């Protein structure tokens, strides 16, 4: 059926239908379909609406996080729009509930505090100083404007206030501290010996009949892995690199030289004054004149900016705005900057942001490198640019061809590609040209494996595109006995040796528990290694983990030592004797550990309190999903 659908999409009727769908999307917008009509909100939380745009932004954020976290191992089903939307909407609702609670409590962040936080964020700093250029660039790459970022950050800081308040409102009582210290600081005296598995291996080799019987009883363990042999075609960026004409290199050089990085650049500082609500024009002009008077009197520009500028982001850095080549700031500012000498101060400059007083603190001219110096870079750039365009055009054609073709032969012929043959590839293939999660999912999909279709064109990292077609499906088969005999002998030998080791450990436990022998005497008689650890705590690093865990799970000795054994993953057995248990005391802990214990218990209680607070907000809320 799927092949019939593929073929029918090439018909005239199908193309007309698709064309009408495209026109309807263009006229009415796909959002009307995806977001359920023209409503302005998709949910309300205590009367506060959740907009479709807000939900889409949250979904996009989740999608970027998943792609960054999972990389090539990402399952496309994890990016399902419906699943992401449901999770994102839950997150938005919870955030709005907590924000409403914070506002009810009167929690807020001042503009000064917000500006100080932004100025102190390392990701916006260059050489330890706040960089307005980096600030704007990083926000743009993350999809924020300065205004939207400040709003989101302000909400985050308010939420942190609420959470910190909840966490700090709970604490550990002296009795709780004493009880925890009694358990955490408990000390135990332990003796233990090691019975090595190796000492039983030489006496445990099985006979031929036993090997064959075990083989027949465990045939499912000796099935060969399921594999596929694939035909595949591949396109990479390097396949489309071509020599570049000299005139194109010269034109690219001209564009490079004319770019901003080789122009005169001015480093600018400013003092921004904005008219406040309720401030009269006379009062505002008075502030401007006061700033001018202070600068005229010789006060340091950076100091005046820090004290009086309304631009909190730059005020903490002496008003510094970074470098401009004439296109970073509004036209009114750029005209004033161009006319200023270094370290001179401008008259007031009015823009939509407010009134600026400017100072050019540095001016630098940059001489461009010669054509020969830039030639390798320019040539590689042009080659890659043109190759990427050619690659993407070829990939689109390949997508159409593999969708309608019954094999890869015709698509390869039309595009001048080579159909390659892979070695057998398993579902968990780790090496080779096709050992990519996306390729393996396609190769073992129903469409390719069972229906015999070409896969879609799969986009991989590094500008690499691959399409695959099944050549041979190698189903699991029982391997012959001779091929797995050594594996069976090794498994049986180890199994027998482990049984003998367990009996030896049980006999040792019985002898020590009955008082017939001590751990030390038994170890010396049999040649085993043995150790004594006095006052071992739960965080001990010298006692093997399995021994320590078992020792602290045993009951306290009553009339005599408690004896037990444990088998390690390596196969060895540890026979241990618990001699004495001493409860921990809070006063015996160092002050630092007491403080850490108090903080940990308080933090655990605080985390529970936060969950309960959010659940109560949810229970009391009026939430409607439209």
Determine, yes or no, domain membership for 151: no
498 and 562 in one domain? yes
Task: Tell me: do 578 and 613 sit in the same domain.
Answer: no
* pLDDT higher than threshold 80 for residue 205: no
Q: How confident is the model at residue 119 (pLDDT cuts 50, 70, 90)?
A: confident
Question: Is 0.85 topped by the overall pTM?
Answer: no
Residue 104 lies in a domain: no
Same domain membership, residue 422 and residue 281: no
Q: What are phi and psi of 86, to 5 degrees?
A: -60, -45
Q: What is the pLDDT at residue 118? A: 84
Q: Specify the pLDDT at position 426.
A: 93
Residue 43 lies in a domain: no
Q: How far is CA 45 from the centre of its chain?
A: 30
Contact 488, 213 (CB under 8 A): no
Q: Which of 120-129, 224-233, 313-322, 611-620 has the highest mean pLDDT?
A: 224-233
What pLDDT does 19 receive?
46
Give pLDDT, residue 30.
38
156 in a domain, yes or no?
A: no
Residue 56 lies in a domain: no
Of 364, 391, 422, which one is at a domain's C-terminal end?
Answer: 364
Residues whose CB falls within 8 Å of the CB of residue 586, separated by 6 or more in sequence, listed in order: 177, 178, 181, 182, 185, 594, 597
Interatomic CA distance for residues 546 and 194, integer angstroms: 12
Same-domain status, 456 and 542: no
Domain range spanning residue 300?
264-364
Domains: count for the chain: 5
Judge residue 428's burial from the number of C-beta atoms within 10 Å of its C-beta, 0-12 exposed, 13-18 middle, 19 or more buried.
exposed
List Cα–Cα distances, 364 to 51, 233, 357, in angstroms.
47, 52, 21
In a domain, 157, yes or no: no
Let me know whether 381 and 468 are in one domain. yes
Tell whether 422 and 489 lie within a shared domain.
no
Residue 495 within any structural domain of the chain: yes
Query: Same domain, yes or no, for 231 and 379?
Result: yes
Same domain, 311 and 356: yes
Q: Give whichever of 76-80, 276-280, 363-367, 476-480 has the largest mean pLDDT.
A: 476-480
Look at residue 23 and tell me if it is in a domain: yes
Mean pLDDT of 149-167: 83
272 and 350 assigned to the same domain: yes
Q: What is the DSSP letter of 462?
A: T
Based on the fold, state whether residues 433 and 397 are members of the same structural domain: yes
Are both 394 and 308 inside the same structural domain?
no
């Amino acid at each position: 059926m799927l092949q019939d659908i593929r073929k029918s999409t090439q018909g005239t009727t199908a193309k007309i239908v698709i064309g009408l769908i495209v026109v309807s999307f263009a006229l009415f917008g796909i959002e009307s379909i995806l977001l359920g009509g023209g409503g302005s909100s998709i949910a309300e939380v205590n009367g506060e609406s959740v907009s479709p745009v807000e939900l889409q932004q949250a979904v996009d954020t989740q999608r970027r996080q998943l792609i960054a976290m999972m990389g090539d191992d990402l399952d496309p089903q994890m990016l399902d729009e419906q699943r992401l939307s449901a999770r994102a909407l839950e997150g938005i609702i919870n955030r709005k509930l907590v924000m409403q609670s914070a506002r009810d409590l009167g929690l807020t962040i001042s503009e000064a505090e917000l500006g100080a936080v932004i100025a102190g964020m390392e990701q916006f700093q260059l050489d330890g100083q706040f960089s307005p250029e980096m600030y704007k660039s990083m926000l743009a790459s993350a999809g924020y404007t300065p205004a939207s970022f400040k709003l989101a950050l302000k909400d985050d800081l308010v939420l942190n206030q609420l959470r910190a308040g909840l966490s700090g409102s709970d604490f550990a009582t002296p009795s709780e501290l004493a009880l925890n210290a009694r358990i955490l600081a408990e000390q135990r005296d332990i003796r233990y010996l090691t019975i090595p598995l190796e000492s039983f291996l030489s006496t445990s080799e099985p006979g031929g009949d036993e090997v064959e019987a075990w083989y027949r009883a465990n045939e499912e363990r000796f099935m060969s892995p399921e594999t596929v042999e694939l035909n595949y075609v591949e396109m990479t960026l390097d396949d489309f690199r071509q020599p570049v004409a000299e005139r194109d290199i010269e034109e690219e050089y001209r564009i490079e030289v004319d770019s901003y990085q080789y122009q005169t650049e001015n480093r600018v500082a400013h003092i921004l004054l904005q008219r406040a609500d309720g401030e009269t024009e006379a009062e505002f002009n008075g502030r401007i004149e006061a700033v001018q008077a202070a600068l005229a009197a010789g006060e340091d520009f950076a100091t005046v900016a820090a004290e009086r500028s309304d631009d909190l982001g730059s005020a903490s850095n002496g008003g510094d705005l970074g470098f401009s080549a004439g296109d970073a700031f509004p036209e009114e500012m750029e005209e004033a900057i161009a006319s200023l000498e270094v370290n001179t101060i401008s008259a007031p400059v009015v823009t939509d942001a407010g009134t600026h007083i400017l100072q050019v603190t540095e001016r630098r001219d940059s001489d461009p490198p010669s054509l020969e110096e830039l030639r390798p870079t320019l040539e590689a750039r042009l080659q890659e640019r043109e190759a990427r365009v050619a690659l993407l055009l070829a990939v689109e054609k390949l997508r159409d061809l593999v969708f309608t073709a019954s094999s890869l032969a015709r698509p390869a012929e039309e595009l001048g590609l080579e159909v390659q043959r892979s070695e057998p590839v398993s579902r968990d293939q780790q090496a080779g040209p096709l050992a990519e999660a996306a390729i393996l999912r396609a190769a073992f999909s129903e469409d390719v494996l069972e229906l015999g279709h070409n896969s879609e064109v799969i986009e991989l990292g590094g500008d690499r595109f691959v399409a695959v077609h099944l050549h041979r499906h190698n189903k699991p088969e029982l391997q012959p006995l001779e091929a797995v005999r050594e594996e069976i002998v090794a498994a049986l030998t180890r199994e027998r040796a482990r049984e003998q080791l367990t009996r030896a450990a049980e006999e040792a436990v019985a002898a020590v528990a009955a008082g017939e022998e001590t751990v030390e005497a038994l170890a010396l008689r049999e040649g085993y290694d043995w150790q004594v650890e006095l006052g071992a705590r739960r965080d001990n690093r010298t006692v093997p983990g399995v021994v320590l865990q078992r020792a602290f799970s045993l009951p306290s000795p009553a009339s005599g030592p408690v004896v037990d054994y444990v088998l390690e993953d390596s196969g060895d057995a540890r026979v241990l004797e618990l001699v004495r248990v001493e409860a921990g005391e809070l006063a015996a802990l160092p002050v630092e550990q007491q403080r850490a214990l108090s903080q940990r218990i308080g933090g655990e209680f605080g985390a529970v309190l936060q969950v309960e607070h959010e659940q109560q907000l949810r229970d009391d809320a009026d939430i409607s999903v439209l």
